[in-house]
C-alpha cells in the first residue's frame, strides 16, 4: 500500500508487458486514489445502478487521474523503466517543437500474452468494400478480409474470453446494386460473427434509407447490431442510440457516430445526420445514467475529429476513429488534457484493434494485422460464395451494370482479330498472364472454390472492353463467356483503344487516303511514355503494389514488349 501511495496511478504506464509491469510495481507505480469528474460520475452511476452480474471493483478505480496531472509526456516516461539520466529530462522537453506528435509509450504488446481479461473488445471499421483482399498479387502479401477476422475472433473465443466485436462502419465504397448486395453480405457476416455494435460510414449512407433499414432496423427481438448517436434513418426510433452490454461482469456502453463532414455526396433526404457534439453528449449522459462503466465511441471520422470529440465531450474511455487510412499505431493514443484514448482503424480492414478489459487492472491494447496467419473462416468463405452466386444470378442487367459508349465512340473487335495482322505482338501477349486474365477468374488460383467471373469489380480488369476504374463495360465489350467469347483476357484494345475503325480501314484501304489511314493507325498507337498510365489503371496500388516500386514498369514492360505491325 505504501507503494501505491508514493506515486499516483498512471493509466498509460500500465500498458506494457507483464514483466515490465513487474518492475513498475516494484519502483512504485500502482493504482491511485484520484479520479476525474467523468470517472466519478461513471462510478457513481455504477454505484446507483448496480449490476447483479458485476463482480469487479467499481470502474472508478480503473480510470485515469485528473487530466491536469496526467500529461502525456510524463506518462510516456513512466511507461517503461528508464535510466536515471532519462528521468532527469524534464517531461515538457520532449514536446518541444513537436506539439503534433502522438506519444506512445514503450514496446507494443500482444493479446496472446494476456491472461484472463474480463472482456475483450475487437474494434474495426472502414472496410471500404474490401470484404476480402483482392489477392491479385497473392493473398499472403495482402492484409484484410472478413474471413480472417472470423478466425481471429474464433481464436479469441477459444481462450474462453468474453469477446465483444465492434465495427465503426463503412462496409462499401461505391454505389449501385452490387454495393447494396455487398453491404448486406458484409452485415450478414458481421452478424454471423456476433458483432455487438455496428455503425454507419459515409459510403454506407449512399445506399439510401430504405436499403439500409432492410438490414439495420432493430425489430424488437431481432437486433440488427446497429446503433448510432447521430444517424437517423427515416424515423428517430428505428436505430438505438447506443447499446449497453454486460460482458464479463462489466457494463460496457457502445455508441457510434458519423462526422457529417465525411459525407461528400448528395444522400437520401430520409437520412438525418445530427450534430456530433450535442448528440454524443446526450448519448454519453444516457450511458452514464444506465450505469455503463466503460464508454466506447465508434466514430466514422478522422483522428482529428476523434480528438476534438474527446476534448469537447469528455468521458469516453475509447474513441475508435474509422475514417482513417494507413497503419494504426501500436498504442492507443491518449488525447492530451483528457482521459480518452483514440485508436484509428486504418482502412480496408487491414488491421483490427484488440482492447483487453481486466477485472483487476487497467485496459491494454494490441494492434492486430489481418495477415495470412489467419486462415479463412469457413462460414464467411461460404458467405462469399453466396455473394458471388447472387451476382451470377442477377447478371450484369440485374446489377444495373449497363454498357456505355467508349469516349472515343469506337467499337471493340477482340484480341484475336488484332492478332491476324499483329502476329508477333499477339504471340507475346499469349505468353503473358494478360491472356489468362479471365480464366483466372473462372478458376482462381486462390480461394479456388469461388469463381469471380460474374463480379463487375473483378471483371473490369480481367476482360476486354471495360472501364477499369468505373467497373462497367463499354458498348461491344465483354458481357459473358457465352455472349462475348472474343473479349476474354485483358486484350490489346484495353490499352490501345477500340480497334474496329482501324480494322475496317485496313481491310478496305481503298476507301481511305494514305493520310487518313495513317491518322486512324495513330489513334490506336500507344507511345511507351503513355503506356504506363494505361497499365496503372489496373495495376493500381490496391491490386498490384509491386508495380509501384522503382523500376517496376521497366521490368514489367520487358515481359510484354511489342511494337509495330509484326
* C-beta of residue 220 within 8 angstroms of C-beta of residue 192: no
Residues in region 454-493 near other proteins by CB under 8 A: 470
Residues in region 6-35 near other proteins by CB under 8 A: 17-20, 22-23, 26
Asked whether the CA dihedral 170, 175, 178, 184 is positive or negative, the reply is positive
**Shortest Å distance, C-beta 472 to other proteins:** 8
Asked whether the CA dihedral 102, 105, 106, 107 is positive or negative, the reply is negative
The residue whose grid cell reads 478496305 is 508
Helix-helix angle 177-192:378-398, to 10 degrees: 160
Q: What mask of x and - would describe binding to other proteins in positions 49 to 88, judged by CB under 8 A?
A: ------------------------x--xx-xxxxx-xx--
Residues in region 520-539 near other proteins by CB under 8 A: 533, 536
Binding-site member from 206, 434, 453, 462 for other proteins (CB under 8 A) = 206
Stretch binding other proteins (CB under 8 A), from 140-148, 285-293, 379-387, 438-446? 140-148
Nearer to other proteins, 289 or 373 (CB): 373
Residues in region 324-343 near other proteins by CB under 8 A: 324-327, 329-331
**Shortest Å distance, C-beta 287 to other proteins:** 25
Rounded to whole angstroms, how far apart are CA atoms 367 and 326?
A: 13
Helix-helix angle 276-289:303-312, to 10 degrees: 60
**Shortest Å distance, C-beta 439 to other proteins:** 26
Residues in region 347-406 near other proteins by CB under 8 A: 366, 368-369, 371-373, 394, 398, 400, 402, 404-405
Burial class (CB in 10 A: 0-12, 13-18, 19+), 492: buried
DSSP string over 85-130:
HHHTS-GGGGGTT-TT-----S----GGG----SEEEEEE---TT-
Residues in region 413-442 near other proteins by CB under 8 A: none
The residue whose grid cell reads 437517423 is 232
**Shortest Å distance, C-beta 44 to other proteins:** 35
DSSP designation for 288: H
Helix (H, G, I), strand (E, B) or coil at 384: helix
Residues in region 253-272 near other proteins by CB under 8 A: 264-272
Q: Does 115 sit near other proteins (CB under 8 A)?
A: no
In this structure, what C-alpha cell is assigned to residue 261? 463532414
Q: What mask of x and - would describe binding to other proteins in positions 152 to 191, judged by CB under 8 A?
A: ---------------------x-xxx--------------
Stretch binding other proteins (CB under 8 A), from 98-106, 377-385, 416-424, 558-566? 98-106
Nearer to other proteins, 371 or 436 (CB): 371
Neighbours of 480 (CB within 10 A): 15
**Shortest Å distance, C-beta 390 to other proteins:** 12
Rounded to whole angstroms, how far apart are CA atoms 203 and 196?
A: 21
**Shortest Å distance, C-beta 371 to other proteins:** 5
Amino acid at each position: 500500500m505504501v507503494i501505491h501511495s508514493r506515486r499516483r496511478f498512471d493509466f498509460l504506464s500500465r500498458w506494457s508487458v507483464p514483466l515490465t509491469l513487474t518492475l513498475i510495481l516494484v519502483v512504485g507505480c500502482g493504482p491511485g486514489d484520484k479520479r476525474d469528474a467523468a470517472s466519478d460520475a461513471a462510478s457513481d452511476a455504477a454505484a446507483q445502478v448496480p449490476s447483479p452480474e458485476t463482480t469487479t471493483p467499481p470502474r472508478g478505480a480503473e480510470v485515469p487521474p485528473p487530466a491536469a496531472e496526467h500529461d502525456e509526456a510524463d506518462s510516456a516516461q513512466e511507461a517503461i523503466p528508464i535510466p536515471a539520466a532519462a528521468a532527469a529530462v524534464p517531461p515538457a522537453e520532449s514536446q518541444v517543437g513537436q506539439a503534433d506528435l502522438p506519444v506512445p509509450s514503450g514496446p507494443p504488446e500482444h493479446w496472446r500474452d494476456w491472461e484472463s481479461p474480463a472482456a475483450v473488445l475487437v474494434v474495426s471499421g472502414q472496410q471500404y468494400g474490401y470484404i476480402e483482399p483482392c489477392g491479385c498479387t497473392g493473398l499472403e502479401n495482402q492484409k484484410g478480409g472478413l474471413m480472417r477476422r472470423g478466425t481471429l475472433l474464433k481464436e479469441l473465443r477459444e481462450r474462453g474470453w468474453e469477446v465483444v466485436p465492434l465495427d465503426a462502419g463503412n462496409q462499401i465504397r461505391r454505389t449501385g446494386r452490387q454495393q447494396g448486395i455487398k453491404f448486406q453480405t458484409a452485415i450478414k457476416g458481421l452478424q454471423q460473427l456476433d458483432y455487438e455494435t455496428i455503425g454507419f460510414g459515409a459510403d454506407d449512407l449512399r445506399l439510401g434509407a430504405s436499403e439500409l433499414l432492410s438490414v439495420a432496423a432493430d425489430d424488437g427481438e431481432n437486433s440488427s447490431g446497429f446503433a448510432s448517436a447521430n444517424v437517423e434513418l427515416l424515423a428517430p426510433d428505428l436505430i438505438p442510440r447506443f447499446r449497453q452490454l454486460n460482458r464479463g461482469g462489466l457494463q460496457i456502453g457502445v455508441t457510434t457516430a458519423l462526422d457529417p463532414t465525411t459525407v461528400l455526396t448528395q444522400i437520401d433526404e430520409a437520412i438525418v445526420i445530427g450534430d456530433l457534439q450535442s448528440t454524443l453528449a446526450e448519448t454519453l449522459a444516457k450511458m452514464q445514467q444506465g450505469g455503463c462503466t466503460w464508454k466506447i465511441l465508434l466514430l466514422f471520422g478522422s483522428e482529428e475529429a476523434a480528438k476534438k470529440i474527446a476534448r469537447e465531450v469528455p468521458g469516453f474511455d475509447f474513441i475508435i476513429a474509422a475514417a482513417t487510412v494507413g497503419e494504426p499505431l501500436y498504442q492507443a493514443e491518449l488525447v492530451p488534457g483528457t482521459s480518452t484514448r483514440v485508436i484509428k482503424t486504418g482502412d480496408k480492414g487491414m488491421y483490427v484493434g484488440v482492447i483487453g478489459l481486466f477485472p483487476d487492472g487497467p485496459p491494454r491494447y494490441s494492434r492486430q494485422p489481418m495477415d495470412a496467419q489467419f486462415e479463412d473462416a469457413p462460414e464467411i468463405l461460404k458467405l462469399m460464395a453466396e455473394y458471388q452466386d447472387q451476382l451470377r444470378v442477377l447478371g450484369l442487367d440485374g446489377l444495373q451494370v449497363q454498357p456505355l459508349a467508349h469516349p472515343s465512340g469506337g467499337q471493340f473487335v477482340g484480341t484475336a482479330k488484332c492478332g491476324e495482322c499483329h502476329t508477333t505482338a499477339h504471340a507475346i501477349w499469349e505468353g503473358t498472364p494478360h491472356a489468362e486474365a479471365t480464366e483466372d477468374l473462372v478458376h482462381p488460383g486462390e480461394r479456388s472454390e469461388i469463381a469471380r467471373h460474374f463480379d463487375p469489380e473483378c471483371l473490369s480488369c480481367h476482360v476486354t472492353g471495360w472501364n477499369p476504374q468505373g467497373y462497367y463495360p463499354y458498348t461491344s465489350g465483354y458481357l459473358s463467356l457465352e455472349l462475348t467469347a472474343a473479349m476474354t483476357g485483358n486484350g490489346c484494345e484495353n490499352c490501345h483503344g477500340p480497334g474496329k475503325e482501324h480494322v475496317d480501314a485496313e481491310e478496305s484501304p481503298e476507301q481511305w487516303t494514305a493520310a487518313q489511314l495513317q491518322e486512324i493507325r495513330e489513334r490506336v498507337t500507344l507511345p511507351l511514355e503513355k503506356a504506363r498510365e494505361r497499365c496503372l489503371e489496373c495495376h493500381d496500388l490496391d491490386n498490384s503494389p509491386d508495380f509501384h516500386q522503382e523500376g517496376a514498369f521497366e521490368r514489367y514492360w520487358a515481359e510484354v514488349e511489342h511494337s509495330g505491325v509484326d
